[in-house]
Amino acid sequence: MNLFDKAKNTAQPIAGLQVGDAVNWYYRVQEVSRRKTLTGKKDYLDLVVMDRSGRLTAKAWENVEPLHKVIQAGNIYRIAGEVREYRGKLQLTITRVRPLEAGDEACRPEDFDEQPPFDSVALLRETFALLDDNIHDPHLRRLSELFQQEYGPVFSQAYGAQKIHHAFAGGLMQHTHALLKLVLAVAPHYGLDTELLLVGALFHDIGKTEEFRTQPALETTLAGGLLGHLVISLTILLDMIRRIPDFPEPLSVRIQHLIVAHHGEKEFGSPEVPKTREAYLLHILDLLDSRMSIFSEQLKVGDAQKLFSDFNQALGTRILLEK
């Protein structure tokens, strides 16, 4: 008898899964890759599955060849398996997979539209209010208005990264909102150009909206792979500046420098290192918020039975899990 012949149609959203649960439900495969075990003697499939409630890593240890032929990133499948725990995190061990069939009425497309884990409408409103209330230079204000008009909806749903930090729907907006608040708190203390920094923070990562796509699968775009988000962000900025009459060239160059220097070092992808106080501060604040996001994520998913996390590549260390 096929495993799915007597499948229950009781929804099993990812957010509600617990260790030991037997899973038999519909999930979208966001990522899939074929890998080898540490011994190199056996292949397995490494996957990320998702629904609108969240994401979950998954492994297929058996029937790797036939499953690899069936599974394609971006598609929805009926997946059977068991939820287990690995290094303090939930992980789905997959036993069976089948594509959707005509009788799968319980599978609804809207169940796979990933939503930000916060009120994105409210945060977008607050983010744009920070700009409207604090940018008075007419050229910078017009630049902010163009951004809001053209990137508001996309910006509010975009990931902040594919893997490292703010890697979820709405992450880019959450990260940018944090930078705007940090700029307003820190820049006046050092007598820096707050309005310039607000615009730099707004545009610094907007290229990520075109660097990779998250639906139906998480994958890098052609422009993202060949140019990267710094160059894409710069292109978006310059396109808007060209549409603003008499935009001062020195001001344009200073904003461009904020974008190209915000990674801080050439070895980390910046074409240039920070050469102004504003550029250096934006780099530091960007690094600060990204690192705090990584700490928060580790504290959230870390093994409650352990004092320290596993080694975190981005932080270069293990972190204390006591909250």
- Domain 14-112 CATH assignment equals 2.40.50.140: yes
**pLDDT, average across residues 184-191:** 98
**pLDDT, average across residues 284-308:** 85
Helix (H) / strand (E) containing 149? helix 138-157
For the chain, give percent helix, strand, coil, nearest 5. Answer: 45, 20, 35
Burial of 250 (0-12, 13-18, 19+ CB in 10 A): exposed
- The predicted pLDDT at position 108 comes to 85
Looking at every residue in the chain, the average pLDDT score rounds to 89
The token pair at 292 is: 């705090």
- The owner of tokens 């409408």 is 121
- The predicted pLDDT at position 38 comes to 87
User: In which band, very low, low, confident or very high, does the pLDDT at 314 lie, cut at 50, 70 and 90?
Assistant: confident
Specify the range with the lowest mean pLDDT, choosing from 1-15, 72-86, 177-191.
1-15
Residue extents of the structural domains in the chain: 14-112, 120-299
- The predicted pLDDT at position 306 comes to 81
- The tens digit of pLDDT for each residue in 90-147 reads 999 999 999 988 888 888 888 887 778 888 899 999 999 999 999 999 999 999 999 9
Q: Which of 68-77, 170-179, 237-246, 291-300 has the highest mean pLDDT?
A: 237-246
Specify the range with the lowest mean pLDDT, choosing from 190-199, 260-269, 276-285.
260-269
- The tens digit of pLDDT for each residue in 36-66 reads 998 888 999 999 998 988 889 999 999 999 9
Specify the range with the lowest mean pLDDT, choosing from 12-26, 38-52, 160-174, 181-195.
160-174
Under a CB-based contact definition with an 8 Å cutoff, are residues 159 and 214 in contact? Answer: yes
- The predicted pLDDT at position 8 comes to 61
Q: What is the sign of the dihedral through the CA atoms of 141, 156, 289 and 313?
A: negative
- Residue 28 CB partners (closer than 8 Å, separation 6+): 49, 50, 51, 74, 75, 76, 77, 112, 216
- The owner of tokens 């990779």 is 212
Higher pLDDT, 111 or 162: 111
Cα torsion through 170, 11, 59, 20, rounded to 10: 120
User: In which band, very low, low, confident or very high, does the pLDDT at 167 lie, cut at 50, 70 and 90?
Assistant: confident
DSSP single-letter state for residue 108 = -
